Structure 1
Amino acid sequence: MALPEAAQSQPKTILTSTDLQRVVDRIAHQILEKTQGAADTALMGIPTRGGPLARRLADRIRTFEGVDVPVGVLDITLYRDDLRRQATRAIGPTEVPPGGVDGRRVILVDDVLFSGRTVRAALDALSDIGRPRSVQLAVLVDRGHRELPIRADYVGKNIPTALAESVRVALVETDGVDEVKLFGGTQ
């Protein structure tokens, strides 16, 4: 039995503000464990919501271990493979973390991992600002449907989705509220 169209379009809350904070804390702990205390590590957020997430992770790592992890922002606009198919986007600033990325472990931070194309663009952009010792990936949500052989090293929540669905992350810094919602399809 099909649901009425109004029921199909109602978003489903996946993470509340409290849930989101717990997930960020868990990712920060995983980073500390996997990197032996975040030694020689830098976080690079992918706009729009990866920047605030990277700063939150750095804050939590500082709280848990007293370690200051440098944070930067990596604009990928010119590295996207869909520039011809989408509306023109403004180029944002790339902020290299203090001390740069050369020889460091760089953890790219993004809100949602989907096809993997954003991460591919981020890898290309990162190679233009330096040569990290290694690159890892931290995402708040992995929704599947990869088109490229890319996986996250740190995942806040795996959310199996249909292609017709979309995951929307809202953060206080960019949207005024912390939450993750699933839109589209049947709930």
Structure 2
Amino acid sequence: MELLNHQQINAKIDRLAMEILERNTAEQELYIIGINNRGLELAERLVSSLRTISEAPIHLWPLTISPATPLDPGPSLTNDVTQLTDKAVLIVDDVANTGRTLFYAMLPLQQVLPKKIEVCVLVDRRHKNWPVYVTYSGMDLSTTIEENVLVTFSGPNGDEATLE
């Protein structure tokens, strides 16, 4: 079942960018960390939208983590985490389900003291088993545990979020 089509996803991304900017107007710069492939794609699109409405420096960093085994080998940032000291950080993923991936994605940030950490997802399923608060969500969705939300970013006309 289709939850969001291409146009709706783009509209959600633009709205999320506005919300992020509104809540971060006092920040000199923003560090956005995109998780794996789809979280990074969403983060790239957010950065693109943010840059059309703000001139503040926005830094995009990829984070690699295995959702199935988040400690093996562990979350990996490609940049020096010490740069995040006293900075505003936004962690981005496509879907928040139990909160486990988002929880472990914060591990590298425990080496420094960021000014604040916020979380942005396109779809928040509200099945949190882990202590993760989603700051920004494009869509909140109540589902059963057995159902799966799949976000596909496939180009100019093919983006979609589906419930399987």
TM-score by length of 2: 0.87
**CA separation of 1:127 and 1:15: change in aligned 2, threshold 3 A:** same
CA distance in 1, matches of 2:26, 2:80: 18
Asked whether the 8 Å contact 1:71–1:98 carries over to 2, the reply is no
Match of 1:112 among 95, 110, 115: 95
* Equivalent residues in 2 for 1:142-153, closer than 5 Å: 142-153=124-135
Amino acid at match of 1:126: L
Match of 2:32 among 23, 43, 50: 43
Amino acid at match of 1:160: S
**CA separation of 1:78 and 1:114: change in aligned 2, threshold 3 A:** closer
Higher-Rg member (1/2) = 1
Q: CA RMSD in A?
A: 2.7
**CA separation of 1:70 and 1:79: change in aligned 2, threshold 3 A:** farther
Unaligned runs of 5+ in 1: 1-11, 84-89
Deviation at 1:96, TM superposition (A): 2.3
CA distance in 1, matches of 2:69, 2:120: 19
TM-score by length of 1: 0.77
**CA separation of 1:43 and 1:97: change in aligned 2, threshold 3 A:** farther
CA distance in 2, matches of 1:181, 1:77: 22
Deviation at 1:37, TM superposition (A): 6.2
Unaligned runs of 5+ in 2: none
CA distance in 1, matches of 2:77, 2:3: 30
CA distance in 2, matches of 1:78, 1:15: 24
CA distance in 1, matches of 2:68, 2:51: 32
3-state DSSP of counterpart to 2:118: strand
Identity across matched positions, percent = 28
Amino acid at match of 2:64: D
